[in-house]
């Protein structure tokens, strides 16, 4: 019961934010008019783990990009919500991992389309929520990580 309550809560939150959860939401929710940081006001807990983006090329078309996470959560049932923002704090993607469904260390992926995404510095952040089984939920954030996705430069050949 506890896991389903936490899982339902995390999935409802992700769906309300328009972010893909463990299963794709059936109907997209409208994007918020103005971006507000979902992690604002949360205390950072480096001892709870890390989330790491991967530098690389911003490839043609719509492609998956990866990241890794490792958590050592406090005692209880945990959930991680992942948020990825692009240059100019544009919210781009997200995901979730849930205790009982996902390991403490793993990888995730998100999809970006080059024609709608600027190259530059991206930020990946994660919120960790833990339910102690007695109705008390502890929330905090993992240290943010930045990574760079760049468009390849076209080579110009000069003929002599």
Domain count, the chain: 1
CB neighbours of 111 closer than 8 A, spacing ≥ 6? Answer: 62, 63, 64, 65, 93
Q: Looking at the domain assignment, is residue 118 inside a domain?
A: yes
pTM surpassing 0.75? no
- What stretches of 17-104 adopt beta strand conformation (E)? 49-53, 56-57, 62-71, 77-86, 90-98
12 membership: H or E segment, kind and range? helix 2-16
Q: Looking at the domain assignment, is residue 115 inside a domain?
A: yes
Structural domain for 97, as ranges: 49-149
- Give CA angle at 123 (120, 128), nearest 5°: 165
Q: What CATH number is associated with residue 133?
A: 2.60.40.3880
Per-residue pLDDT of the chain (160 residues; tens, 9 = 90+): 344 444 444 444 334 434 444 433 333 444 445 657 788 899 999 999 999 999 999 999 999 999 999 999 999 999 999 999 998 778 888 899 999 999 999 999 999 998 888 899 999 999 999 999 998 999 999 999 999 999 876 665 555 5
Q: Looking at the domain assignment, is residue 133 inside a domain?
A: yes
Q: Looking at the domain assignment, is residue 76 inside a domain?
A: yes
Q: Looking at the domain assignment, is residue 155 inside a domain?
A: no
């Amino acid at each position: 019961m506890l896991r389903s309550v936490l899982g339902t809560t995390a999935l409802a939150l992700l769906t309300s934010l328009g972010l893909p959860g463990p299963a794709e939401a059936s109907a997209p929710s409208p994007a918020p008019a103005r971006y507000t940081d979902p992690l604002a006001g949360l205390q950072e807990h480096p001892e709870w783990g890390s989330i790491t983006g991967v530098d690389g090329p911003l490839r043609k078309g719509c492609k998956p990009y990866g990241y890794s996470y490792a958590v050592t959560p406090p005692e209880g049932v945990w959930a991680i919500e992942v948020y990825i923002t692009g240059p100019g704090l544009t919210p781009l993607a997200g995901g979730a991992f849930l205790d009982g469904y996902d390991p403490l260390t793993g990888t995730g992926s998100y999809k970006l389309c080059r024609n709608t995404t600027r190259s530059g510095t991206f930020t990946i952040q994660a919120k960790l929520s833990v339910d102690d089984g007695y109705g008390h939920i502890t929330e905090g954030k993992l240290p943010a990580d930045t990574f760079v996705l760049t468009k390849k430069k076209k080579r110009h050949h000069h003929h002599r």
